[in-house]
Structure 1
Amino acid sequence: MSARDPFYVGWLPMPRPLVGFLAVVAGAMLGASAVLAVALVTAQGDWRDASFQWGEGYRTLTGVLRVEPYPVLYLPPDTENPRGRAVPLSGEGKRGVRDRAAALDGRAVDAGGFILRAGDREMLQVGGEVDLRPAMDAAALDGFAGPDAEAVGPRTLRGEIVDSKCYLGAMRPGQGKTHKLCANLCLVGGISPMFVVYRSDGPPELLLLADPAGGPVTGALLDDTARYVELSGIVERRADLLVFKVDPASLRPL
C-alpha cells in the first residue's frame, strides 16, 4: 500500500475517497433491504380478516352455557340465525374459562367481554365487570334452553388443528407451522381446539373438536397441531356450530 492510499482511523476525519465508496455501499445495502422487505411482505399468505373487534366495545351476551366439550354460549334463534348462534368462550390471554363455567353448565348466563371474529364465526373473550354470571334477565331468552344436537353423520375430513382463539383473531397468523408453539400453549391453557377444513371454492369450514364421548380431546392432539391431517369421527350440529367427535387414533398425517 502506498503512502497516498486512503486509510480510515476512527478518531480522524474520513478520507474523501472513502466517503464516496461508503455512500455507494450504504445505498446499495439500503436498497437491497427495501427490496427484500417488499418481497417478504408480498410473499405472505392471506391471513384472512380475523381480529379482536375492539371498535364494538365491551359486549354482554345472554344465552345458555354448555361446558362440554368446551365452554360455548348458545344464543336463541332470531331472524338472521334461525338455528340459533353458538359463541365459543375464552378467558383473557391463553386461558380458557372451564373452571368458572362449570358451575353454570346448562344455565342461562350473562357473559361479558370482547368479541373476536373471523368471517361469520365469533368468540367472546370473557372478563371485566360482567365476566360470567347467572342471567340477570333469563326471561329475555323466551324459554330457550339451548340447542338439541342434530346428527350429521360419520365423516372423514382433511384439515388443520388450530386453537380457536388465535385463529379467530387473537393472532395473525393463527395457523400454520410458525404458530404451532403458540397454539399448543393456548390449548394447554384451556382454549378449545378447532378443525379447519380448507376449501378451494369458498371459506374454510370450522368444526369444534371433541372426543368420541363428547368431552375434551386436547391432550391427544397436541403433537399434531399446525399439520395437515386426516381425522375420522361423527359430526353433529348444535345451533350454527358443527362439533366433530373424533377418534384420535384415526389421525393420519398427510
Structure 2
Amino acid sequence: MSATPDEFPRHPNAVVDRGAFYIGWQPRMPAALARVIRPLVITLVVLLVGLSAGVASTLRSGPPGVFEFGVVRDLDGVFYATPLPTLRLRDPVGGGAVSYYVVGAGKRGIPDELRALAGQRVRFRGTLIHQGGATMVELTEPASLTPSGPPPPGLERPAPQTVGERELVGELVDTKCFFGVMRPGLGKVHRGCAIRCLSGGVPPGLLLRHRSVDGERELGTVVMLVGEDGAPLELDPRWAALTIRARGTLESHGGIPVLRTRALELEPSS
C-alpha cells in the first residue's frame, strides 16, 4: 500500500499553501496578496514624490549662470596674477577691453606655468563661465598656453576704486562652481565639491544675501576674497557653505566687488 503525502511528517520550515504564496518571477501575484501590496506601493510612491518635492523646494540653486561646456575658445590677452588671476583682452562684442577671471581645469586654480607669465601677453584655449556682470575662463587645454610678446597698448587694467573698510557676513563659496559650472553651486548640498575646489586653488567668494527692492525675491551678490596684500587668501576650505564674517578693505574692480581680507572667522551659528 503506497503512502500519501499527508502521512509524511511535516518539516518545521515547510510553507503551508493558503493560496497566497508568490515568487517574483511568476507572471501574476495571487489576488489576496495583490489586495494588500497594491495600496502599500501606491502610498509609498506618493510619499516619495512628496518628500522629493519638499526637499527640492528647500534647495537654493542661486542666480542662473552659464558654463559653455564643450565650447573651447581661442583667447589672447594680458595676464595679471594679482589680486585675482585675470585675463585682460579685447571685448569680442562691443570693442574696448574686458577682464575675465582665470581658473584651471577641473577643481584647480591656475597652473604655475600661467602664474609665471604675469604681466605678459598670453594665448590659450579655454571655456567661458559667466553670471551677471562677471566672466571667468577655464584654462581647458593647458598645453595650449603660450606667451606671445609684450602687452599691447589698451589692455592695461583700470585702477580699482576703494569703497572703504567693511565687515561682511555671508556664505563661503567657490566662485567657479557658483558662477555656473555646477547647479546648485552653493549650500550644504554642494559643500563637498566646494571644499575640493577651494583646496585646489579656485578663488573664494563671499555670498551676501539680500532682498530685491520690492521685497519679493532673494538676491545674492558675491564678493571676491583675496588676502590683504592682494595674494591668494589663506583659509580653511572646510568652511565652504558655512556662514563666515570677513573684515577688510572693499574695492570695486570694474564693477566687481573685491575684499582685501584682513580677518576671517566662522560664525557661531554655522
TM-score when scaled to structure 1?
0.81
Q: Map 1:104-253 to 2 at 5 A.
A: 104-128=117-141, 131-135=144-148, 139=152, 142-201=153-212, 203-218=219-234, 220-248=235-263, 250-253=264-267
State the SS of the aligned residue for 1:104: coil
**Hey, what's the Cα distance between the residues in 1 that align with 2:256 and 2:186?**
20
Q: CA deviation at 1:43?
A: 3.5
Distance 1:88 1:131, change over 3 A: farther
Q: 1:62 aligns with which of 76, 98, 103?
A: 76
Contact 2:74–2:125 (CA<8 Å) still a contact in 1? yes
Contact 1:110–1:136 (CA<8 Å) still a contact in 2? no
TM-score when scaled to structure 2?
0.77
Distance 1:50 1:78, change over 3 A: closer
User: 1:166-200 deviations in whole A, cap 9, x for unaligned?
Assistant: 11111122112232222121111111111222221
State the SS of the aligned residue for 2:211: coil
Moved more, 15-24 or 225-234: 15-24
**Hey, what's the Cα distance between the residues in 1 that align with 2:162 and 2:175?**
23
Q: 1:47 aligns with which of 62, 75, 83?
A: 62
Contact 1:74–1:147 (CA<8 Å) still a contact in 2? no
User: 1:60-91 deviations in whole A, cap 9, x for unaligned?
Assistant: 33332111234211235799698x53311111
- Where is the strand percentage greater, Structure 1 or Structure 2? 2
The aligned counterpart of 1:97 is 110
**Hey, what's the Cα distance between the residues in 1 that align with 2:91 and 2:32?**
78
Q: CA deviation at 1:5?
A: 4.7
Distance 1:241 1:65, change over 3 A: farther
Letter in 1 for 2:211: S
Q: CA deviation at 1:204?
A: 2.5
- Where is the helix percentage greater, Structure 1 or Structure 2? 1
Contact 1:64–1:146 (CA<8 Å) still a contact in 2? no
**Hey, what's the Cα distance between the residues in 2 that align with 1:158 and 1:135?**
42
Q: CA deviation at 1:99?
A: 0.8
Unaligned runs of 5+ in 2: 1-15, 214-218
**Hey, what's the Cα distance between the residues in 2 that align with 1:101 and 1:241?**
23
**Hey, what's the Cα distance between the residues in 2 that align with 1:233 and 1:93?**
30
**Hey, what's the Cα distance between the residues in 2 that align with 1:166 and 1:136?**
32
**Hey, what's the Cα distance between the residues in 1 that align with 2:64 and 2:183?**
9
**Hey, what's the Cα distance between the residues in 1 that align with 2:136 and 2:57?**
29
Q: Map 1:7-18 to 2 at 5 A.
A: 7-10=20-23, 14-18=29-33
Contact 1:71–1:101 (CA<8 Å) still a contact in 2? no
**Hey, what's the Cα distance between the residues in 2 that align with 1:51 and 1:78?**
18
Unaligned runs of 5+ in 1: none
Q: CA deviation at 1:94?
A: 0.6
Contact 1:86–1:240 (CA<8 Å) still a contact in 2? no
Distance 1:37 1:247, change over 3 A: same
The aligned counterpart of 1:26 is 41
Q: CA deviation at 1:136?
A: 7.4
Letter in 1 for 2:88: Y
Distance 1:70 1:221, change over 3 A: farther
User: 1:105-157 deviations in whole A, cap 9, x for unaligned?
Assistant: 01122342111122222211112387432247965xx4322232332221111
Letter in 2 for 1:176: G
Contact 1:98–1:190 (CA<8 Å) still a contact in 2? no
**Hey, what's the Cα distance between the residues in 1 that align with 2:254 and 2:122?**
17
**Hey, what's the Cα distance between the residues in 1 that align with 2:33 and 2:91?**
75
